[in-house]
Amino acid sequence: MKYRVVLKESEEGFSISCPGLPGCWSQGATEEEALENIQDAIAEYANQDVGVPQGPECYAFSQPKACQAVLTKAEFDPSTFNFETVFSEWFVSSPNFLFESELNAGVRTAALLKAQTQETLEKISRHIAAAVVRYEKGDGYAIPFAAHVVTGRRKKKPIPRLKPVS
């Protein structure tokens, strides 16, 4: 099975995640190393032959034109549409925090992880913790992430006027 990955260059190298497998993160000094590491994590750790609830199309809002099309269909005014990608850091208290939060996260993530053996969960946890350690900052870990901020206004609908009663 093929998965789309998100690669972000940072001062330390490259961080990489697999949105189709929430909580599946890795890194590498080079882009090639990061891609190899995430492929290893996906292939080695997760048994993906489990019943996972169907999720929404996670890439529907990843591209400005596709996002604008969805919002226009939902009666947003296209002239007010703004799509911006922002970068920030998620500050967590321990290398295991990311795995623990994904283990108890949304329906699809929790279903995928709950279907794994204890041994597999421990491997996934160690892999994620090893990827997080490089982001140590002060008394925690600052994990870089990107997010799309999308804004727009709904089209104004005419207010129906009441007809005078005769």
What pLDDT shows up at residue 139?
92
Q: Count of H helices and E strands in the chain?
A: 5, 6
What pLDDT shows up at residue 25?
76
What pLDDT shows up at residue 14?
80
What whole-number distance in Å separates Cα of residue 62 and Cα of residue 39? 22
- Beta-carbon neighbour count of residue 6 at 10 Å? 14
- Confirm whether pTM is higher than 0.75: no
Q: Would you say residue 83 lies in a domain?
A: yes
Task: Using the predicted structure, report yes or no on whether residue 125 has a pLDDT greater than 70.
Answer: yes
Say if CB 23 and CB 113 are below 8 A apart.
Answer: yes
Task: Using the predicted structure, report yes or no on whether residue 166 has a pLDDT greater than 70.
Answer: no
- Expressed as residue numbers, the domain containing 124 is 6-48+58-151
Q: Would you say residue 163 lies in a domain?
A: no
Q: Would you say residue 166 lies in a domain?
A: no
Q: Would you say residue 135 lies in a domain?
A: yes
Say if CB 56 and CB 135 are below 8 A apart.
Answer: no
Q: Would you say residue 87 lies in a domain?
A: yes
Task: Using the predicted structure, report yes or no on whether residue 103 has a pLDDT greater than 80.
Answer: no
Q: Which of 25-29, 53-57, 64-68, 104-108 has maximum average pLDDT?
A: 64-68
Nearest one of 33, 32, 7, 29 to 18, comparing CA atoms:
7
**103 vs 52: which has the higher pLDDT:** 103
Mean predicted lDDT score pLDDT of the chain? 79
Q: Would you say residue 158 lies in a domain?
A: no
What whole-number distance in Å separates Cα of residue 105 and Cα of residue 118? 18
Q: Which of 10-19, 33-42, 139-148 has maximum average pLDDT?
A: 139-148
Nearest one of 115, 119, 102 to 25, comparing CA atoms:
102
Amino acid at 42: I
Q: Would you say residue 91 lies in a domain?
A: yes
pLDDT band of residue 50 (cuts 50, 70, 90) is low
What pLDDT shows up at residue 47?
65
Q: How many domains does the chain have?
A: 1
Looking at the chain, the whole-number percentage of residues with pLDDT higher than 70 is: 81
Q: Would you say residue 157 lies in a domain?
A: no
Say if CB 26 and CB 16 are below 8 A apart.
Answer: yes
